[in-house]
Each structure stands twice: as structure tokens, then as C-alpha cells.
Amino acid sequence: MSIRPSHGLAVGFLLAILPVATSYAQKVTAAITGRVVTSADGTPVAGAQIFLAASRKRIKTDSVGRFAFEALRPGTHQVEASIIGFAPLVAVVVLAEGERKDIEFRTDTVGAFLPTIYVEGESQPELIKILTKFERRMAFGSGRYITRADIVKRNPMRLLDLLRFLPGVRVSCVEFRCEIRLNQDPRGCPPAVFMDDVQTTQHILDATLPTDLEGIEIYRGPSETPPELNNETARCGGAIAMWTRRGRSP
């Protein structure tokens, strides 16, 4: 059965744990290999950009659409494939020590198939989840993140009540108007505020009900802020990115 979300690539996993002989003195490293092909006829796609987030390595597929990241540490790795004309797709691969996993990204000119993981020996593929932008930043970023579960658990009356208790955050109010500062920058800059990836003003913090939000990202300064949010305002005052329940991050 095919499921078609609004992404421009599809990815399949072949999970094969290859037996590797080890000695007491030799530590076995893991690897991620794979290829990029067209979904119609399996034609290799050469020159696709493949990015490994943990090591910041960026390589291109060869003439037969293959790529490889060797000598990896065990753990969770984020792999992103980018091809001109298609939205990038992120896959999360969990490696054990000495394990090798092969990924297949497939382009689809009429949409995309939901990524699946094909496990050797299983007849039915196991569906995996495409990470949202909020989830990707939370998994690999260095800011502070408030999830939907956190909001429900704390059940604050106002959004600022949820933020004011974070370390280093200062909220000052005059009558019904409040301002927030995320760091100790002597210029006293307000943070850049984004709602569903669109920049707005910090007054929306007072106008937004916590129950309307799916997640919140808080970055205290330029060293924490993702490049796509790191504008002139954020470089001084940090950034707050909010995702509403109706506009969940892609």
C-alpha cells in the first residue's frame, strides 16, 4: 500500500547486521551506506547531496548513485538527501557497534512515498516517521524545547508563565504589557519571535494560548540559534520559535 505525503523523496532501509570478526584490542566501527535512485525505473542519481548531521560531513553520490559513511560511532545518526527539484528528506538511523545499514532514497516526480524500513527476514515493511522541523531541532540542536506533553502537564494560564521559569529568562510586566529577555546581553535586545516559521512580534506571546501550541523552541543567543532563525535580532536577543497545532512544522 502506498501512502503519499507532501515530500519529494522516498527512502527505504535495508537493515542487515553484518557479522564482523573482532579482536580484544580492535574496536569495530559502524557504517551507513546507500544509494539514490529514481522510483520509476531505478535509474541511479549521481551528484545528490548527502549530509550526515552528527559529523557535519557532506558528500555526493557517485556515478551509480552510491554513497557511504564509514567509521561511525554507535548511536543515532541523521542522514539527509538533497536533490535539485525535490524537498530534502531526513532519515534517522540507529547503529549498534559494528553494524552496517544500507539506505535507499527514491525520487518520485508525482509526490513521495512514506519512508519504510525493510527488515531482512520480514515480509511487511515497518513504517517510520519523518521528523518534523521541531523534532529535528530538538534531537540535534542546543536550545531549550517545550513539547506538547510539557504544556499539557504544566497547564499554564499564559504562555509567559511557561517561559519565565526557564534558566536565564527574564519577564518584566507593566500593567498588562510584558517583555521577555533570554540572555544578559548589555544591549537588552528582545528575542526574534517566530510562529509557524513566520517571524512576528513578541506581543504574540501574550495573545497565544498555551493549549494552541504543539511545541516551543528557545535559543538564548547566536551560538544556539539555527541558521534559518539567526537573523540580526536573534544574534542579539536570541529566538523563540512556536509551532501551533494547526500549523505543525513540516
The residue among 243 and 107 whose pLDDT is bigger is 243
What CATH number is given to the structural domain containing 21? 2.60.40.1120
| 231 within domain boundaries | yes
Cβ neighbours for 126, distance < 8 A, ≥ 6 positions apart: 116, 117, 119
Q: For 125-179, what is each residue's pLDDT tens digit?
A: 443 444 578 887 887 778 999 999 999 999 998 898 889 888 889 988 887 778 8
Rounded distance between C-alpha atoms, residue 75 and residue 15, angstroms: 15
Alpha-helical regions (H) of 11-131? none
Is 154 part of any domain?
A: yes
Structural domain including 153 reads 138-244
Q: Are residues 13 and 96 in the same domain?
A: yes
Q: Identify whether residues 149 and 119 lie together within a single domain.
A: no
- Residue 85: count of CB within 10 angstroms of its CB: 7
- Give the CATH number, domain containing residue 183: 2.170.130.10
For residue range 67-100, what is the model confidence (pLDDT) as tens digits?
A: 999 999 998 898 888 877 666 777 888 889 999 9
User: Cα 151 to chain center, whole Å?
Assistant: 20
Q: Which three cell numbers stand for residue 237?
A: 536577543
Distance CA 170, CA 182 (A): 6
